[in-house]
Structure 1
Amino acid sequence: MIFRHAEAVRSAHPGLAAGALHATGVDGTADVEARVAARVAEYTARALARLAGGPESGFPEVLAWRRTFARMGLRPTRYRCASESLLRRLRKEGALPRIHPVVDLCNAVSVAYAVPVAVLDADRITGPLLEVRPARGDEEYTTFDGRTEHPAPGEVTYADSAGRAHARRWTNRQSGHSAVREGTRRILVVAEAMHEGGEDTVARTLETLEKELAALWPVTPVTALLTDADPEFRLDDHARVR
């Protein structure tokens, strides 16, 4: 399977910095959950320390996504990128929700670096292509409560080869269809940034996730930074895609 951003997206958003990670062998057992909790605490503490200096709405990383959403015709205070939503919740509640060890780790790293981090169950993606592209309008998006929606034509979404949408409004809302769950074993993680210096932030985000995943699970993550010159991330040929 290939993951990439469509040329239309890259052309419309030249400030995009992105990277991807693939790993096989994760789980959500009680043993790993306890170890993940300690790592989550460290990364959320970093985010809380930064929030002590001012709300997330003033972070350059968040402001860049707000400008991006505005360019797409979305009201930024109604539709927030995933990292802003998590930071806002962390600021108000002092902690992030516990969902699944893999998701909890990715969310904690997301708030630590203030950039959206999507983690998908790779076996719930229909290959050979997962592309961030403008929607046609006939893609099917599954909400977390099981309802089916159709992204509006032109809305940026993660779309697979079967026409299933794995996100609404780009980094705003992930699909329940490919959400990590108890039986997940293979993941695709994507980090994206729009701010100046985003390439470095994405690189550090991926390095952190690679290190943490390898320390917590018997996995050997594969990562790549995606650029205009090299925009595709190819999952291993032996990886199974449904």
Structure 2
Amino acid sequence: MRFRHSDALRSDHPRLAAGALHTTGVDRRADVGPSVAEYTARARARLAGAPEGQFPEVLAWRRAFTRMGLKPTQYRCASESLLRRLRKEGSLPRIHPVVDLCNAISVAYAVPVAVLDADRLTGPLLEVRYARGDEEYTTFGGDLEHPAPGEVTYADSAGRAHARRWTNRQSGHSAVGDGTERILVVTEALHDGAADTVARALETIARDIAAHWHTAPTTALLTSSAPEFTLTDTPLSGRRAPW
């Protein structure tokens, strides 16, 4: 299974920096509470100085959404939505330990972090690309939608869309749940210094996942010259990929 951003998307967004991680064995038993508290405290400290709408990381996504014809205060990137919720409500939703951890790291670094159930992706390719309009997206409520032609989505080889409006909303089809064993984590950024931020965020995600679940994640920083990440079994997984 390969993950990449399309050449057309990279051409239109030359500042795009991305990182990907794959691992197995992420069940609900891990206690990520202390880590979540640490990373959300870091985000709160930054929010005390300025609201999330003034963060360079968020402003870059707002500009990208505007270029895509979206109203940025109606459709927010995932990290902005989480930061906004943290500022207004004081906490983040609890969903699954690995999602909770990645959400906390997302607000700490102010960049989107997507966590997908890798067994719900159809290979051989998952690509972040412009939609054709015939892709199928499943909401968390189970409804079926079709991304508009030209909308950025995560599309697999079966034509299933795993995101709407790039980093705005993930799909319910590949959401992490009780039966999740393997995950693909993706972090993306567009601001000045994005490559450094993504590298630090990805290192943090890998370190914390390894510590909490005793796995050996594989990671890669994706660039225009090295745009693809191959999901391979980690040494402790004991499973082979189904494709």
Question: Do these two structures clear the TM 0.5 threshold for a shared fold by scoring above it?
Answer: yes
CA deviations 1:120-151 (Å, max 9, x no partner) are 00000000000000001000000000000000
Q: What is the distance in 1 between the residues matched to 2:129 and 2:181?
A: 26
Which residue number corresponds to residue 40 of structure 1?
36
**In structure 2, distance between residues paired with 1:206 and 1:199:** 11
> In the alignment, which residue of structure 2 is the partner of 1:27?
27
TM-score between the two structures when normalised by the length of structure 1: 0.97
- The one-letter code of the counterpart of 1:15 is R
Q: How far apart, in 2, do the equivalents of 1:69 and 1:21 lie?
A: 25
Secondary structure at the aligned position of 2:179 is classed as coil
The match for 1:14 is 14
Q: Partner letter of residue 4 of structure 2? A: R
In the alignment, which residue of structure 2 is the partner of 1:52? 48
What is the DSSP-based 3-state SS (H/G/I as helix, E as strand, rest coil) of the residue aligned with 2:22?
strand
Distance 2:174 2:41 in 1: 29
Quick one: distance in 2 between partners of 1:177 and 1:240? Answer: 19
CA apart distance, 1:235:
1.1
Q: Which residue number corresponds to residue 203 of structure 1?
A: 199
Indicate the residue corresponding to 2:74 in structure 1.
78
Trace 1:171-210 onto structure 2 (pairs within 5 A): 171-210=167-206
CA contact (8 A) 1:26 1:218 kept: no
Match of 1:227 in 2: 223
What is the CA RMSD across the aligned residues, in angstroms?
A: 1.0
Rounded to whole Å, the distance in 1 between the matches of 2:47 and 2:62 is 18
Gaps of 5+ in 1: none
Shift of 1:241: 3.8
- Counterparts of 1:72-221 in structure 2, within 5 Å, are 72-221=68-217
Q: Any unmatched runs of 5+ in structure 2?
A: 234-238
Once superposed, which parts of structure 1, at least 4 consecutive aligned residues long, lie more than 3 Å away? Answer: none
1:218 deviation in Å?
2.2
TM-score by structure 2 length?
0.96
Q: Deviations over 1:132-183 (max 9, x none)?
A: 0000100000000000000000100000000000000000000000000011
Kindly state the Cα deviation for residue 239 of structure 1 after the two structures are TM-superposed: 4.1
CA contact (8 A) 1:122 1:241 kept: no
Question: Taking every aligned residue pair, what percent have the same amino acid on both sides?
Answer: 76
SS at match of 1:230: coil
Within 1, Cα distance between the matches of 2:232 and 2:93? 32
Secondary structure at the counterpart of residue 191 of structure 1: strand
- Partner residue, 2:236: none
Cα offset for 1:54?
A: 1.1
Question: How far off is 1:236 after superposition?
Answer: 1.4
One-letter amino acid of the structure 2 residue matched with residue 149 of structure 1: E
Rounded to whole Å, the distance in 2 between the matches of 1:40 and 1:166 is: 25
